[in-house]
Structure 1
Amino acid sequence: MGGFTHLNAVSGFSTRFGAAHPEQLVQRAAERGMSALALTDRDAVTGAVRFAQAALEHGIRPIFGTNLAVAPLAPAPAQRRRTPVRGGAHVYEPPHRVVLLAQSRTGWARLCRLTSAAHAHGDSPLLLTFDDLNQHAGEGLTVLLGPASEPVRALAAGRPDLAEHLLAPWRQLPGIQLRLETCWLGYAGTGPGSLRMAARTLTLADQLGIEAVLTNATRYADRDQHRLADVLDAARLLRPIDRRRLDSGERWLKDPAAMGEIARRIAAAAGHGDDRAARLIAETAATADACTVDPVRDLGLGRPHFPEPAVVGAPGGPAHAARLLREKAEAGLIRRGLDRDPRARQRLQEELEVIKTLQYDSYFLTVAQVVEDIRELGIRVAARGSGAGSMVNHTLGIATANPLDFHLLMERFLSVRRASLLWQRARPNRLTAERLAQAGVLDSLRGPLTRRDLLLQITELHRQYQGRPLGDGQLPMTLDDHHTAPPSGLPEMTSREALNAELHILGADISRHLMDHHHQLLRELGATDAAHLKRLHPGQQVLVAGVRASTQTPPIRSGKRVIFVTLEDGSGLVDLAFFEDSHEACAHTIFHSGLLLVRGNIQRRGERNTVTGSMVWDLEQLAAARRDHGPEAVQRLLGAGADVPPAPRTEPHRTITHETGAALHPWADLQPPGQRAADLTKLGHTSPGSAG
């Protein structure tokens, strides 16, 4: 079958319910061949921005939705609640939920209004009423009624007549697109999530002429996260993990093939063939295609958004908001007793001009109103961070401290020239400036220039001021549009050059992992990464590679010398042990190389797989051989390593016995691991042992 779009998936922004980050869901969707994905978090749309950013990065079309609790239409039977244990409490969860999807910018606005309406009902449980739906629902919205909805719950109770009756108000909502959601979560019986319930839902949809869609009611990205869902349920409901109520383990982001098989099983249970399954998939795809909200065009992703001036008492627009902010700030200046302080008046005027230029007036008015509302509730409010340096914040009552008393700067919080201000105030010397440029620290300021352009400009400035007094010894370099030289045509640093500069200057790989340049070589050699090591069997021969994160030779009871190494390859850690029979061939390379390729055999240690090393190579040397002489040169080097005979096993001539009974080999550690600072030039911690 072709692609599939999940229309019902929640993330960790569904408090104590979703078990995956939005970015993880998007990444899995891309890996599993999907082109679109919906995020339908419970009771909120707070994950929408991170979801949209991740979707744009991975080429996934985002569909925006939410999952809201809805007040029942039919009266619920009275139920006697059991008394909780001492210190416990009952957690009431509304039993009925629906999924809303935004088809357009108008639909997104309606969805947000409905979410706000659900939160606006005071101390009662967060519920959406039909009055809210009649007021705010309409064109641009798709509604999915699935296993948690009131009509389908009635169907599960054996009341198809009641289910049809409860569907009538939903079908009468003007403008919405109504869908029945079929979902098989692996449960037995006839309840929600069962195969029989999914088949009954499909049958009801066909009988009433309502389109049906297929979902997996996704709570986590991968199958093995279902235990986390059990923990979240226990935390949300304040109850122990109940083995009778465990998650089925099926609510992961399944690939299109798996969802196609589920569609066939549901269609067969409803008495249909593969043609109905194909139509169910097609109706799901059509519903997804109708949701065309663009995060940049419709939501303004990447642009600042502030409340409309009318919301904060300025119906006349931005100019009215600026006047209102000035009036409130000047009144606050008088209230603070600073109206006769010329420094305070000047500082206030300067800040107000900056705010007006950037059109942040409604933002400041909004924050001031929020702070005032919070204080009226008797809740303490304290300003933190760079906002405390604003005189406007001080006069509006947002910040308590007078920024003049503590020499705080508004520019750290807000400035028209924010990007170049940090540089101009720092005024680094030539050596520091060159290192900053090489390591990429100035990338956000350089505009169209390459890092080599920046180095050239720094050199020219140094030559220009050579022999002239600099006062404080710093280069007066500016990076605004007026003073920056045009691009020289020098090429940008390659990714390897940039990485080498980061390692040399910062001692860390920032822009990419050290192993990124070696992935193709490792694939050719058939190496296994840390993430897949656990799938191998004990005794199996394996090639592993990575950055040498640590090397230790601790004392052991036998007095023999064992070299323990940990490699980090970007997907996880690989633990290795080299026994004495391998030291003649391996020890020198282990202690003198930062990137290693190791051949060894899998050993099981508890639940983890480790590797007993038998041969090791310098990965950088292998990469250079491949680059200069081709893959055959790498194979020759690997073959030469295999010809090294193992060293004879010999007993140590001298050992030191510890109080624990362990004996210390003469070439082993002389002090506990971690006592000496990490040697970043060797890319990891090396204990004070010797290569031999």
Structure 2
Amino acid sequence: MSDTHAQFVHLRVHSAYSLAEGAIHAKDLIKQSLGLGFPAVAMTDTNNMFGAMDFSMAGTGAGVQPIVGVQLSIRNSYLTVDPKARSKPEPDQLVLLSMNREGYGNLMKLVSKAHLESDASEGPQILIEDMQGLSENVICLTGGSKGPVNTLVLKDQRSDASECLDQLKDLFGDRLYVELQRHGLEEEEASEEALLDMAYEKNIPIVATNECFFVGPDMYEAHDALLCIADGAYVDETDRRRVTPEHRLKSAEEMINLFKDLPEAIENTLYISKKCLFKVDPIDPLLPNFTEGQDISEADMLRDEAIKGLRMRLDFKAAQEGLAAGKEEEWEKEYWERLDFELGIINQMGFPGYFLIVADFIQWSKDNNIPVGPGRGSGAGSVVAWVLKITDLDPLRFSLLFERFLNPERVSMPDFDIDFCQDKREQVIKYTQDKYGADKVAQIITFGKLQARAVVKACGRVMQQPYPVTDRLAKLIPNDPGSAMTLAEAVESEERFKAEIEADEQTALVVDRALKLEGFYAHSSTHAAGVVIGDRPLDQLVPLYRDPKSDMPVTQFNMKFVEQAGLVKFDFLGLKTLTVLQRAVEYVAERDIEIDLEALPLDDKKSYELLASGNAAGVFQLESTGMRAVLKGLKPDLFEDIIAVVALYRPGPMANIPTYVERKHGREEVTYKHPMLEDILSETNGIFIYQEQVMELAQKMAGYSLGQADLLRRAMGKKIKEEMDKQVEIFVEGAKERGVTDPVARAIFDEVMAFASYGFNKSHAAAYALVAYHTAYMKANYPVEFMAAIMTLDLGNTDKLAGFKQELQRMEVPLLLPNINKSQVAFVVEKSEETYCEDLDDPRHNLAIRYALGAIKGVGEKAMEAIIEEREKNGAFTDLFDFAERIDPKLMNKRQMERLAAAGAFDCLLDSRSQANAAADVVMRYANMMAAERASNQVSLFGDDASAQVDRPALPVVRNWTPTEELEHERKAVGFYISAHPLDSYEKILERESIISAAEVFSDPGLIGQTVRMAGAILSYRESKSKNTGRKFGALMLSDRTDAFEFLIFEDDLPRTRELVEEGAPLVVNIQIKKKDDEDMVRLGSRGMDSLESVAAQSSSGLEIEVEDQDAIKSIKSVLSRRSGGKGIVKIKVPVEEDKRFAEFKLPHKYKISPELIQAIEAEIGVSSVMEQ
């Protein structure tokens, strides 16, 4: 390496953490700098220090000194701004470099200040004076062509530029450098002489920088595409942000040649680098002292609370199981010994404070009626967590292991994943802010990367490749969530993808750019669950950021690096199911029945019968079609069965489900390779399911400690050959010492090895099984309340609500139409005088669910809340105009009125939905007039209210909708049919045509392989192309009276399908029922279809219509004219006034008779009756 190579240091580099702007990964920056011989390099990302820890760790021991810095936006208070200008000028920039720990601390505070105290609309920025008191041990570069001094020079504000430079010198003293850049930009050349004059005049040293966004020239065009992706621009646009090919990581030789007339500017880069010998090192975890100010240590408090908690848990267990309680009782000893053991490990590892903090905010949540989950993850294996009520599962009863959570032989932070009610999670986080200080609590940042498919689409867009071409190309990249394929792997292994690249030059160019940009960060967001709590203001440990979507500060380090910075992560997860359970319990409480879910016995017969029936829709973790099929075969009758099925129903272990089921029911013998295995595997019918079983096996058969066994489990999961070769010998030797032969020990080890990669954490499975059991219990014992609760939580999800409606139908629980005088925003349980269920002991007796106003499409929850508030304050609405007089028209419009009318919400005020719908405009105009009258306070001399001043208009006169029309309007407003179904009027025809219902198809295995006739109203239709064959196919979803069903249509049948597809139209379809060997779901395929109306027309002989007078005949003929060409004969009976007899005549043509035609005739004015012949 020549001396020249080491005579310059880059002090201004944008890494990938300058989101969608920099294109150098932190590790690559160190690697490239090493290759170019630089002794140091600075990373100065735009307004952030996201990568400070990553960069520092990458530089540790690498032979290159990382210099932690930032490019910070400065609001230039010296700049003269045109008051007529439409927008504020862009902020200027300074580069700040940390010299030591204090300087780094000042940078963190400045960057945090820029984010947390700036107007969100203007982006992070500070004033120069904001750096007062935060400039020590910080080196400042004046910002080059985009610095405040340079901007003032270019604006001919030379005296202001001089004053600005003086202000910076006052702040930074001899740590200020005038920054010079030579990228070939006009503004750099125009200002350089003035900058040099001021620098020499004020005795301020100069420094040369090259603002780097990418490594080499070959990256320029890809980086240009990255800027376009960030700005939503096209590469071919001229008026957009861009940099030059010179904005790269140049060699020292290039920089020395570039500034050969100013050698001191080069030398000063080395001088600065020698001043900046600081890098960010990982530190041990720092937690608030939970017992600060109290005369007790955290360890002693934890022991006191744990002993008290265990006593309460054991007393409850004794009362529930009829046991004698007391520390001297034999059954209790195991619990007390385990408690002592765990407390010893927790104290030894220094984590008592962590347990106390978690227990505190969980207890606060429970005290404030915020549901908390029973635990998830390995934390459920801790007795200490159980007795502190962090978790709700008895670890000893379910053989859950503490070492799976906290291993003394592998020191790492404990990590409780805590589920809270989704709606109230933010309240718990707010509590931690209030308790520990708002400046000591923050959420955690995450970064979104440009992944394979996304980066191809993004590059295609900015390079203006036609969207269908880019979309097709992206879809050729396999996208398995479990093992996502990189773009490079797709180019290498996907033949069709390679063929597309080779066939088209533009496509090859798009992929080339995408390959270079894949993996760079595109955006930041907030981690869904992670929260950190510090023992000091967080900006002393990490820089902070503001997510525009949240008021809470966010750490600038992601989860990995925030822990390296000494902060401890707590996971505050939102689980919708907890909210469902709480709401269901509250609905039940309205009947004066109190339910304590934590105290439920785990042997409720109804709950297991529900699961065994497969009717698990809405049951947590068990509601998928495949899982319900498993439950039917398994017929669980023990809580352990639920734990097992939660663990087994995943790719890999799923293959063991049939064996588990057969062995449970005694149809297959359970055998063990060695008697020792029986104790470990008897609970799971001789099958390895849980990671804890591997640990127990290693302990009992080979003499491992549980800590060592956990390390073995981890190693097996990673399948590192060298480690496994070593471990198999340790295992075999240990087993031989306990009487197991070498071949048997090796066979068992091999079996466990094969299992280890998909073994499941039993603690996690047990915790989720408990939530599943709670939902099954509520559905089995309080079905109406449970379904009202779960539907409320999916208020805006029409597809899910449609599924729940079908489930209510199966459960024989009535779903009542929305009613403006009875409905709430949410779904509610309503007691009715009507007897829905004869059995007085049935939990459904006299109960129904009233449809939620908030679930009607397009009405808005806020408007519905206002309506309900008015109704509850001043009583039920009496008619549409009373409604108009009492609502705020600012919250309601004509469209909302029409949706409410179509959904049936006004049926209680007006018999005709069509009239209520047509009146929407009149009613809203009246509502606005009433509001204006109230606002002007114009009341009569007699004290009349506003309604007396405005005459009520007349309602429009319109014909009633036919039942079919009414249902279609209802479906559009709600998303599905509630009051009836379009097939209802075809009942006789369905019987005659031997139509099979969806419920029969999905429940009768005997129909598999057959072709049956089904009927349904069209819900949706889409067309797509097969990835394998490239041929088109259609997917049509229909709804009958029992369920919705979707089937595939082959390309040859698509033209006929398109003729028939009309939203809501009823069809008859010949369906072939299939079931693949490796799937639980029934698959349906079309074998021809026709409109149900046409089928009906073929089987009806005619109509007899009775009218009130001859005036109706004309409108009847008009309706019939659209149905001519069928087989039906139409007779009309007209009254003869003189003798009250009827004259009857037959129309000359024949017609297509159908229920829809009958309804249309019945809706005409003057028609008395219509009879089908």
What secondary structure is seen at the aligned counterpart in 1 of 2:114?
helix
Q: Is the 8 A contact 2:72 2:94 kept in 1?
A: yes
- 1:231 is displaced (CA, Å) by 3.5
- Which of 22, 26, 29 is the aligned partner of 1:22? 26
2:345 maps to which residue? 354
Residues 1:156 and 1:386: Cα distance change in structure 2 (over 3 Å): farther
The residue number in structure 2 matching 1:441 is 720
Deviation, structure 1 residue 177: 1.4
Give the equivalent residue in structure 2 for 1:64. Answer: 68
The equivalent position to 2:165 in structure 1, one of 160, 164, 167, is: 167
* Larger Rg belongs to: 2
2:408 counterpart (416, 421, 432): 416
Match for residue 275 of structure 2?
290
Show the counterpart of 2:259. Answer: 263
Cα offsets for 1:410-448 (capped at 9, x unmatched): 433422123899996563999xx9xx89x9938789xxx
Secondary structure in 2 matching 1:309: coil
Superimposed CA distance per residue, residues 440-488 of structure 1 (whole angstroms, 9 cap, x where no aligned partner)? 938789xxxxx8x8898678668x649x3369944899xxxxxxxxxxx
In the alignment, structure 1 residue 305 sits paired with structure 2 residue 576: no
> What's the CA shift for 1:355?
3.2
Asked if the contact 1:185–1:251 (Cα under 8 Å) also holds between the matched residues in 2, the reply is yes
Given residue 140 of structure 2, which amino acid in structure 1 is its aligned partner?
V
Contact 1:39 1:65 in 2 (8 A): yes
Q: What's the CA shift string for 1:518-540, capped at 9, x where partnerless?
A: xxxxxxxxxxxxxxxxxxxxxxx
Q: Is residue 53–residue 281 contact of structure 2 (8 Å, CA) maintained in 1? A: no
Report % sequence identity: 25
Q: Is the 8 A contact 2:92 2:147 kept in 1?
A: yes
1:210 to partner: Cα distance? 0.9
In 2: Cα distance, 1:396 partner to 1:77 partner: 62
2:1152 counterpart residue number: none
Deviation of 1:95 (Å): 1.6
What is the SS of the residue equivalent to 1:249? Answer: coil
**1:218 paired residue among 196, 204, 212:** 212
The one of 225, 238, 243 equivalent to 1:243 is: 238
Cα distance change of structure 1 residues 184 and 175 upon mapping to structure 2, 3 Å threshold: closer
- Contact map agreement 2:132 2:171 (CA 8 A) in 1: yes
**How far 1:129 moved relative to its partner?**
4.2
1:234 aligns with 2:228: yes
Matches for 1:35-50 after TM superposition, within 5 Å: 35-50=39-54
Partners of 1:234 and 1:402 lie apart in 2 by 56
Give unmatched runs, 5+ long, in structure 2: 318-331, 413-690, 703-711, 749-756, 758-1173
Q: Compute the displacement of 1:141 (Å).
A: 1.3
Partner of 1:11: 15
Aligned residue number for residue 469 of structure 1: 740
Corresponding letter in the other structure for 1:68: L
Tell me the distance in 2 between the aligned counterparts of 1:354 and 1:292. 39
CA distance in 1 between partners of 2:118 and 2:310 (Å): 36
1:95-174 correspondence to structure 2 within 5 Å: 95-121=91-117, 124=120, 125-130=123-128, 132-138=130-136, 140-147=137-144, 148-173=146-171
Q: Bigger CA drift: 355-364 or 142-151?
A: 355-364
Matches within 5 A, 1:259-658: 259-264=255-260, 274=261, 277-293=262-278, 295=279, 299-301=280-282, 304-307=283-286, 309=288, 314=292, 320-322=297-299, 340=316, 351-361=342-352, 386=378, 409-418=401-410, 425=696, 427=698, 441=720, 465=737, 468-469=739-740, 473-474=744-745
- Distance in 1 (CA, whole Å) between partners of 2:395 and 2:28 is 42
| Other structure's SS at 2:71 match | strand
Amino acid paired to 1:55: G
Q: Measure the CA separation in 1 of the matches of 2:267 and 2:339.
A: 61
Greater Cα offset, 163-172 or 468-477: 468-477
Q: CA deviation at 1:107?
A: 1.8
Shift of 1:392: 6.5
SS in 2 for 1:10: coil
Q: Distance in 2 between matches of 1:442 and 1:94?
A: 57
The structure-2 alpha-carbon separation of the partners of 1:460 and 1:372, relative to structure 1 and needing over 3 Å to count, comes to: closer
1:481-517 CA-partner distances (Å, limit 9, x unpaired): xxxxxxxxxxxxxxxxxxxxxxxxx9xxxxxxxxxxx
Letter matched to residue 15 of structure 1: L
Tell me, what secondary structure is at the counterpart of 2:140?
A: strand
Matched-pair contact (CA < 8 Å) for 2:118–2:126: no
Classify the secondary structure of the residue corresponding to 1:414. Answer: coil
| Cα separation, partners in 2 of 1:225 and 1:455, compared to 1, 3 Å | same
Displacement after TM superposition at 1:321 (Å): 4.9
Paired amino acid for 1:257 = E
Q: Is the CA contact 2:40–2:66 (under 8 Å) kept in the aligned structure 1?
A: yes
**Counterpart AA for 2:67:** I
- Structure 1 residues 315, 465: closer, same or farther in 2, change over 3 A? same
CA gap 1:24/1:210 in 2 versus in 1, 3 angstroms: same
Mapped to 2, the partners of 1:398 and 1:76 lie a distance apart of 60
SS at match of 1:135: coil
CA gap of 1:461–1:358, structure 2 versus 1, over 3 A, is closer
Distance 1:171 1:471, change over 3 A: same
Deviation at 1:209, TM superposition (A): 1.0
Q: How many residues align?
A: 434
Contiguous gaps of at least 5 residues in structure 1: 83-89, 265-273, 446-450, 478-505, 507-692
Q: Contact 2:349 / 2:408 at 8 angstroms: preserved in 1?
A: yes
DSSP 3-state at the match of 2:42? strand
Cα distance change of structure 1 residues 458 and 349 upon mapping to structure 2, 3 Å threshold: closer
**For the residues of structure 1 that align with 2:362 and 2:256, how far apart are their CA atoms?**
52
Shift of the 389–427 alpha-carbon distance from structure 1 to 2, 3 Å rule, reads: closer
3-state SS in 1 of match to 2:47: coil
**Structure 1 counterpart SS, 2:183:** coil
* Residue from 232, 248, 254 that aligns with 2:250: 254
TM-fit CA distance, 1:43: 3.0
Change (3 A) 1:300 1:243: same
Q: Take 1:18 and 1:396, find their aligned partners in 2: how far apart are those partners? A: 48
Within the candidate set 177, 180, 193, 1:179 is matched to 177
What is the CA distance between 1:18 and its match in structure 2?
A: 1.4
For the Cα contact (< 8 Å) 2:382–2:401, is it kept in 1? Answer: yes
TM-score, normalisation: structure 1: 0.51
Measure how far apart 1:286 and its partner are.
0.3
Residues 346 and 142 (structure 1 numbering): CA distance in 2 closer, same or farther, change over 3 Å? farther
Segment drifting more, 2-11 vs 405-414: 405-414
Q: Is 1:68–1:99's contact at 8 Å kept on the other side of the alignment?
A: yes
| Secondary structure in 1 matching 2:66 | strand
Output the aligned Cα RMSD: 5.2
- CA distance in 2 between counterparts of 1:255 and 1:41 reads 20
Deviations 1:374-409 (CA, angstroms, capped at 9, x unpaired):
99xxx9999875556567777889889887797654
Residue in structure 1 matched with residue 502 of structure 2 by the alignment: none
| Counterparts of 2:305 and 2:174, CA distance in 1 | 44
The equivalent of 2:416 in structure 1 is: none
